[in-house]
Amino acid sequence: MCVPSTERVGHKCSSDNAYRKIMTKCKTMWILGTVTALLIVSMALQNYTVNQYVRAILKLTAMQLIDLNNFKNLLHDSCLVYKKIPERELSESECYSCESIDRVDVVFKPEDVLESYADLNWPVAFQSNVKTNVTVEDVTLTFLIGDLLPCDYESNLKIDPLRAIEMKYGWFMHWLVFGLFAVGNNGNNKKLRRNCDDVQGKIMRALYRPDSFLSISSETWTIMSFKYKTYHYKQINMYYNSRVAVSQISGTFNYRLVPKNPCTKICNHLDGRLETYHTLVFNNFIWDFQYLPLNNSSNSIAIIYYLD
């Protein structure tokens, strides 16, 4: 408490009041400056280019603080979470299920016979009752534009996908829409899975709903192509050992089911073609899936998903 009874005390009170005023002014300016800076940063991060630079800087910083042996792909991926999944070994006795087949059957009432084919571990194809008008532009604008980058993206394109589609170049592309990151071993080959944004997975499932007797999982792959001339099949590296469905939304793809080791010595690879609205169901534990983009004038879209 100040008592202005002397000149010295009065001088001290005056100094205290001036100090308080300066501190109050500084605090106000600091608060306003902080709020302004946060607004500027928030607005800047809305810009795609700025956002990518900031993410790159954060990744490079994180790489200095972590073990690069475990996160060697961090610079190029949006995925950080590792999860161990038990690896099941394929035995030779399980290969006998594919020893006697040389083609994929096409059935007309799949809801009546799918379980029988599942019991035999035989692949099967059928014409789906689900019709959709989803286009490559819809899929590209949904999944390949913006900050949420897809995982395991493969393509011949070295430019923006939407630009290539608009300019009618020949192209193919496939990517993982959503999936958990996992580490496993198959011989000397290490398998990696991604932990992508489930928002994209939900959007994909909203764009396409499978037949009512199929139960789609959260992990979904997307395949697209247009006028791409090649003789080389593209492999989709799926890692869960379960039944898989490949649904052709539009256009056409050739496919090949390649038996895994040790079934390569016992079983033949199976070739087929997926026309629009056809669905292929097979056991990914026994078969690897490959597809061949065709030199067609129409766009081709297919999705791959695990059956719960």
* pLDDT, tens only, 115-162: 889 888 899 999 888 787 888 888 877 777 655 556 788 888 876 777
Name the percent of the chain lying above pLDDT 90: 25
Domain limits of the chain? 18-66, 93-307
pLDDT score recorded for residue 194: 47
Q: Residue 192: pLDDT above 50?
A: no
Name the pTM for this structure. 0.65
pLDDT score recorded for residue 94: 86
Q: What is the mean pLDDT of residues 215-221?
A: 73
pLDDT score recorded for residue 50: 64
Q: Output the DSSP codes for the chain.
A: ---TTSHHHHHHHHHHHHHHHHHHHHHHHHHHHHHHHHHHHHHHHTSHHHHHHHHHHHHHHHHTTS-TTT-TTTTT-S-----B-PPPPPPGGGGHHHHT--S-EEES-HHHHHHHHHHHT--EEEE-S------HHHHHHHHSSSS-PPEEEEES--S-HHHHHHTT--EEEEEEEE----EEEETTEEEE-----HHHHHHHHHH----TT--EEEEEEEEEEES---S--EEE---S-SEEEEEEEES-EEEEEEEPTTGGGT---EEEEE-TTEEEEEETTTEEEEEE----SS-EEEEEEEE-
**pLDDT, tens only, 25-49:** 787 778 777 877 777 766 766 666 6
pLDDT score recorded for residue 193: 43
Looking at the domain that runs over 93-307, which CATH code has it been given?
Answer: 2.60.120.650
Tell me the pLDDT of the chain averaged across its residues.
Answer: 76
Q: 105 pLDDT band (50/70/90 cuts)?
A: very high
